[in-house]
Amino acid sequence: MNQTFRVDLRGIVDLLSHHLYTSPQVYARELLQNAVDAITAAHGPDAAARKSGRIVISSADSTDSTGDGSLTVSDNGIGLSEVQVHELLATIGRSSKRDELGFARHEFLGQFGIGLLSCFMVSDSIEVTTRRADEPTVLWHGSSDGSYTVRPATSGEERAEPGTTVTLRPRPGCEHLLTRDAVTELVTHYGAHLPHTVTVDGVRITGGPAPWDRLENEDPAQRRARLEAYCERVFGFTPFDMVDLAAAEAGLRGVAFVLPMPANPAVPAAHRLYLKQMLLSEGAERLLPEWAFFVRCVADTAELRPTASREALYEDSLLENTRDTLGDGLRAWLVRLSRQDPARLREFLRVHHLGVKALALHDDEMLRLVTDFWPMETNVGPLTLAEFRERYGVLRFTPLVDEFRQLAPVAAAQGLAVVNAGYVYDAQIIDRLVTVDRELEAETLRAADLTTHLERLTAAEEQAIAPALAASDRVLARLGCDLLVRSFEPSGLPALYLLDDDTAFQVDLRGAAEQADDVWASILGSFQTTEDPRPRLVLNHRNALARQVLALDDAELRATCLEGLYVQALLLGHHPLRPTDTAVLNQSFLGLIGRAVAGGAR
């Protein structure tokens, strides 16, 4: 046996107020939406005809108020017949903006047939007085307990013209939401840019220009001043620049305001979005591509679909295409800036380089822009990749910041220019640049590679230090380090500690496995290589102190000095000290002091 669902209206209202809508204040938006849609149905899609639409709101403080705190919202829209009142107002989920009214669904703001229910969040009863064309006036009264009545209007209750009036009486605790100040603020917030005449207690709310409008006889300087004032008032900052946005497929017009300060790319950008000139959301996300976190925009759309709560956009192919189109507009602005005002582009990049670099990973034009205009850190001073390539030919870089700090001074002394590609996106940008430009020669310089650029000792020099070298090797082997002797600049640097990322990983694995139980040691062991990579301590044979240490006859003193040079190289390379290294630091420092004191006493 077929049966129909029974709906608990109080439960539905609770669901709306706690889970669909973020605040009971949205009742004002839904009443405006219904009035605007009624005007649209009455006057058709012609924008000029819609301007004759009127929405008259009387608050609880109005001189025409009945004194019971009620709010009325009247429009001169299409109105409803008695049959439509029964069919549409009393059926949850059936939208009154249906095709039978003569227009396609996308002409209307509301689509879900639940907007009027939001009024139950502030009122226990809703009264609707409506008249359609030559039909008689009908009164509908709905209660939050799920009951409703419909009757013809009596003398004195009729409407003089087609349209609808909605009357709300506040439920206990919601009186403040129906006062003049509250209603004026809410209606201004949601409907200030509507094309119709909207008044609250006789004061007009609409009529001012929208930010996306281009006014006649307004020169660029005046428009810029108007938009800057809007941005300061709404978003709270003076924009670095402004970019007009448009997406014809979505019927979208808008303005993007470029932030004058860095933005966190991990925090989604929130934009102010209108649907057919009525505020949809102050925090619309994913309207722009993720890389465009450096702008905040205000826009009006005619075609993008809202969610049921009308506080966000429905994710579909149209929104995806619109996002790409708006991203193209921002990209074109950056290209324009690079050609017309390079200095201003550099100023922009100093603040928002992360967004542009993210875009450069898959956009050739942005890749060129980053290559030509963004100065990267190198060991010969800040240089763009284009300047570095022009001066040094080979694009030599290191992908880790810590490694760059180790290598930078030594590489520079050997005449090797190196780019620090350890910051976000830099290494990927260089990799992509090599892919795009086949003539570009790039080379990764790692800590282990630097030794190939250092001068080897002569045969005579190696023979002279051979006895001490074997003993010194054993000292450093206890610290998990290999010893090399090379000649390099600067000669004032006695030792250099070289540890690349792969070796550091294997060293950490071994240390963790030694301290773990058998199960975890077995798991960690599966990640270890068969080789035994070790960091290297490179003694500088051009340094007098290093040569003197190797020439010491006292094996114990030589070991203490080597341990001191080892720890000093760690500190100079900004490497963290293990407990073993800290113990060696104390031991070598105190041992050398002890030797000095003993020598002084003699």
pLDDT tens for each residue of 399-442: 888 888 878 888 888 889 999 999 999 999 999 999 998 889 99
What is the rounded distance in angstroms from the CA atom of residue 274 to the CA atom of residue 280?
5
What is the rounded distance in angstroms from the CA atom of residue 360 to the CA atom of residue 293?
15
Asked if the 220-340 domain carries CATH number 3.90.1150.10, the reply is no
Mean pLDDT for the stretch of residues 439-447:
87
Asked if residues 70 and 228 have their Cβ atoms less than 8 Å apart, the reply is no
What is the rounded distance in angstroms from the CA atom of residue 195 to the CA atom of residue 217?
20
Checking if the pLDDT of 96 tops 50, the result is no
Instruction: State the average pLDDT for the chain.
Output: 85
pLDDT value at residue 92: 62
Confidence category of residue 112, pLDDT binned at 50, 70, 90: very low
The separation between the first and the last C-alpha atoms of the chain, rounded to the nearest angstrom, is 114
- Can you give the C-alpha Rg of the chain in angstroms? 37
Checking if the pLDDT of 90 tops 70, the result is no
Give residue 88's identity as a one-letter amino acid code.
L
Asked if the 342-451 domain carries CATH number 3.40.630.20, the reply is no
Cβ within 8 Å of residue 195, ≥6 positions away: 47, 50, 51, 53, 206, 277
Q: Which two tokens stand for residue 352?
A: 């928002």
Query: Tell me, what DSSP letter sits at residue 315?
Result: -
- Which residue reads 């996308």 in tokens? 106
Asked if the 9-204 domain carries CATH number 3.40.190.10, the reply is no
Checking if the pLDDT of 519 tops 90, the result is no
CATH number of 456-499+535-601: 1.20.120.790
The sign of the torsion formed by the CA atoms of 337, 342, 346, 347 equals negative
What is the rounded distance in angstroms from the CA atom of residue 428 to the CA atom of residue 422?
10
> H or E stretch including 378?
none
pLDDT value at residue 42: 85
Checking if the pLDDT of 362 tops 60, the result is yes
Asked if residues 206 and 194 have their Cβ atoms less than 8 Å apart, the reply is yes
pLDDT value at residue 571: 87
pLDDT value at residue 499: 78
Tell me which residue of 258, 232, 96 sits closest to 164, measured CA to CA: 96
Peptide bond into 490 cis (omega under 30): yes
pLDDT value at residue 6: 67
Please check whether the two domains, 342-451 and 456-499+535-601, share a CATH topology: no
What is the rounded distance in angstroms from the CA atom of residue 256 to the CA atom of residue 304?
18
What is the rounded distance in angstroms from the CA atom of residue 473 to the CA atom of residue 26?
77
pLDDT value at residue 328: 94
pLDDT value at residue 510: 57
Q: Where are the domains of the chain?
A: 9-204, 220-340, 342-451, 456-499+535-601
Confidence category of residue 99, pLDDT binned at 50, 70, 90: very low
Q: Which two tokens stand for residue 474?
A: 């054993």
Of 80 and 61, the one with more pLDDT: 80
Checking if the pLDDT of 520 tops 70, the result is no
